[in-house]
Structure 1
Amino acid sequence: MATKLKRRGFNLDVKSFVGNDGRNYIVFRSTRGSYHAFVEVEAKQAARECGAAAEKNTREMWKTVWRKT
């Protein structure tokens, strides 16, 4: 009976870059070599966009959004 090897860990390398447009890009590289890029935005604005209704501090806004999922 052949033993199937289990995956060990999941590593992501993370770096940030400033683009020619002045925006900050956060880039993840997987262990298999794929890249995923995200544009950094203000956390409070992102919370609003994701459904936080009340204007509280950023942490409280994200807590309400986080609980919805």
Structure 2
Amino acid sequence: MVVKKKREGFGLEMKTFEGGDGNAYLVFRTGTGSFHVFMEVEAKEAAHQCGATTGKNTRGMWADVWRSDKV
């Protein structure tokens, strides 16, 4: 298990966990005790699913998505 603390002042703590299903989970805990969980996915496939065009590297795909008006 890898433990990384978020910068102080933002009220967020972050840890990563490997689930029994083999997936990686990123968990944030807020200063008020709420938990928010994200599952790791392959970045290039996620960019494609969010509307990026193919044929670019992952960074270029995400840059296109970021600049687009698709939200």
TM range (shorter): 0.7 to 0.9
Partner of 2:19: 19
TM-score of the two chains, using structure 2 as the length reference: 0.79
2: distance between equivalents of 1:33 and 1:68?
34
1: distance between equivalents of 2:15 and 2:55?
31
Gaps of 5+ in 1: 1-8
Gaps of 5+ in 2: 1-8
Structure 1 segments, 4+ long, off by >3 Å, are: none
Per-residue deviation, residues 9-50 of structure 1 (Å, max 9, x unmatched): 432111100000000000000000000101100110110111
**Identical residues among aligned pairs (%):** 57
Q: What secondary structure sits across from 1:10 in the alignment?
A: coil
Partner of 2:39: 39
Shift of 1:68: 1.1
**Which is greater in Rg?**
1
TM-score of the two chains, using structure 1 as the length reference: 0.82
1: distance between equivalents of 2:46 and 2:55?
13
